[in-house]
Amino acid sequence: MDLHEMPYRLKSARQKRRLVKKDRDKRLIQLDKHQNLLWKQKRELPMIPLAQPYQKGWKRFFVLRKDVQQSAKAAFYQGILDKINTLEYYHDKSFIQRIRKKGRYHYEVRPQTLRPIYEDEWFGNKLKLTDAEKLCFYRYEGFSEWHRRVIVNYLFDEPWRFVLAVKPHIIYEVKMIDEVLEQEIKAIDNHIENNCLKARIDRLTRGRGRRRWYADFFDKPKYINKLKNKSMYLIQERYMD
């Protein structure tokens, strides 16, 4: 019987390799979904109260200054502080860290500032600021080394109304540990790491395109020489107009 008269066609070597690769990619996608499901189950585990709470370092946050606490607008400024307060943890009560400058070590207090309000949070009013509270903020434009561009933030105009307070960081409850869940997560992590599958999984699940912040960080506007590429430059100006 002639091969052309057969009811089906035999797959070529290239088609077989493609099917094998496609089947492997499907299994990697399912593995990534299963890993995300396990991490979700781990995050949803309840907290267990401790019979004997213990101290783990110190925590530092902002509080109202004494004269502000005694003023008539104490509740007003406390409402603002609840929305822009920050919390820092450290092993030493003094919050002093060793910093190396110009080849020498210096000891300085760890800096801590109030939380800035980002531009999208300000216009979307995600912090639910009142009109009176918005009057206490000013618009600040600054260059961000991380984003490599100018960003807009809204800062509190009177930070002197708040002072830092340090208190012991007491642990009253801990996250429940599921040993079977931990072993399964560890097994999947080891399988991905030992077989170098992380890059392929990221490409299958997150696509080839870079994120916007990633593109802004590396991509630069293309330089156009007006004298060398005069015709191209005139065409671009015509479309821009």
Residue 236 structure tokens: 């671009």
pLDDT at 229: 55
Please compute Rg for the chain using Cα positions: 29
pLDDT at 4: 53
Q: List, as one string, the DSSP characters of 90-157.
A: ESSTT-EEEEEETTEEEEEEPP--PPPEEHHHHHHTTT---HHHHTTEEEEEEEETTTTEEEEEEEES
pLDDT at 218: 46
Helix or strand run (H / E) with residue 207: none
pTM of the model: 0.66
pLDDT at 230: 55
For 129, residues 6+ apart whose C-beta sits below 8 A from its C-beta are 83, 117, 137
Encode the chain (241 residues) as per-residue pLDDT tens digits: 455 555 667 888 888 899 999 999 999 999 999 999 999 999 999 999 999 999 999 999 999 999 999 999 999 999 999 999 999 999 999 999 988 888 888 899 999 999 999 999 999 999 999 999 999 999 999 888 887 888 999 999 999 999 999 999 999 999 999 999 999 999 999 999 999 999 999 999 887 544 554 444 444 556 666 666 555 555 555 545 5
* CA angle, 35 then 37 then 39, to 5°: 70
